[in-house]
């Protein structure tokens, strides 16, 4: 197998966008990374490439600016050999990664080979299921009201972003960065809030991962004191309906494997589980 590097996102998408679009929901992390890089005038130094068997595309990948490797398998029958070939290529080329994001079985194939070159260990960070919706089920959501977030909501959104990063992504962000993120999503009209019958804001969700034919919903968060009341599901119901009416062919979201109740709530709305997705971080071994 041959590992092929491409100089930038433009070249990568020109050659492989059609392959990524064959299964847009499953390839969304790699696809959205390339689309964002393509629209960004800065030189991000991201690495894009493929693993080929003759003219057959088997594996596509990027190493983002945070050094996380994102993998997408275009050929499940040959993905094991492709993952091994890529691990050897990165190891022999001394190309450093700090994390890995892919389907669980693909992660395991890559890790098993790459650890031979690694002075560290892979630690699982997140285990998710990728869900997709193409038609909204007619359900009766909990009473309340959905609305676009306003500039006056930025403070509470920033607080929720910090909590979301810790709970859902096992990550931390400072308040200033959270305010900037909240402000940007409000300005872009991407963030939706759900209010209860007393007009208290109780849940949020954002339509931020713009794809070619669909859109990914992120930053789904309900504070602990409001959980268990169906607010997140109601927000996702109305948001998904609106996004489809805007012309998107599908909506997609990631749900934490640790919370099967959330999975079932979204299934009632019309979401279907497609496959898993795992994120690993590399912890260096101190000598």
CATH 3.40.630 fits 2-118, yes or no: yes
Question: Could you give the CA distance from residue 253 to residue 217 in angstroms, rounded to a whole number?
Answer: 5
pLDDT confidence of residue 42: 58
Domain 133-275 - what CATH class? alpha beta
Provide the whole-model pTM.
0.92
Q: Where are the domains of the chain?
A: 2-118, 133-275
Task: For the chain, list residues with pLDDT below 50.
Answer: none
Expressed in percent and rounded to 5, the helix, strand and coil fractions of the chain are 40, 30, 30
Helix (H, G, I), strand (E, B) or coil at 251: strand
pLDDT confidence of residue 262: 83
| Separation of first and last alpha carbons in the chain | 35
| Contact (CB, 8 A) for 186 and 208 | no
Name the pairing type of β-strands 99-102 and 272-284: antiparallel
pLDDT confidence of residue 102: 97
Query: What's CA 240's distance to the chain center, in Å?
Result: 17
| Contact (CB, 8 A) for 89 and 3 | yes
- Fold matches, 2-118 and 133-275: yes
pLDDT per residue over 182-214, tens digit each? 999 999 999 999 999 999 999 999 999 999 999
């Amino acid at each position: 197998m041959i590992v092929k590097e491409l100089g930038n996102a433009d070249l990568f998408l020109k050659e492989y966008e059609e392959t990524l679009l064959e299964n847009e929901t499953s390839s969304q992390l790699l696809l959205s990374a390339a689309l964002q890089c393509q629209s960004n005038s800065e030189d991000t130094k991201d690495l894009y490439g493929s693993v080929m068997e003759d003219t057959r595309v088997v594996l596509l990948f990027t190493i983002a600016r945070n050094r996380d490797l994102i993998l997408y398998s275009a050929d499940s029958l040959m993905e094991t050999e492709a993952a091994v070939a890529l691990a050897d290529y990165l190891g022999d080329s001394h190309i450093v990664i700090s994390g890995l994001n892919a389907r669980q079985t693909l992660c395991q194939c890559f890790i098993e080979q790459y650890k031979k070159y690694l002075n560290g260990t892979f630690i699982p960070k997140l285990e998710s299921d990728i869900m997709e919706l193409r038609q909204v089920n007619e359900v009766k959501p909990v009473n309340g009201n959905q609305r676009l977030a306003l500039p006056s909501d930025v403070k509470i959104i920033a607080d929720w972003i910090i909590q979301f990063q810790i709970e859902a992504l096992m990550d931390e962000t400072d308040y200033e960065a959270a305010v900037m993120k909240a402000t940007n999503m409000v300005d872009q009209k991407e963030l939706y809030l759900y209010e209860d019958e007393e007009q208290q804001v109780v849940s949020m969700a954002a339509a931020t991962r713009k794809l070619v034919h669909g859109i990914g919903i992120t930053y789904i968060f309900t504070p602990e004191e409001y959980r268990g009341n169906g607010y997140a599901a109601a927000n996702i119901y109305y948001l998904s309906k609106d996004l489809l009416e805007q012309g998107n062919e599908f909506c997609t979201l990631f749900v934490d494997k640790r919370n099967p109740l959330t999975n079932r709530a979204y299934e009632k709305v019309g979401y279907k589980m497609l496959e898993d997705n795992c994120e690993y971080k590399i912890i260096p071994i101190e000598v």
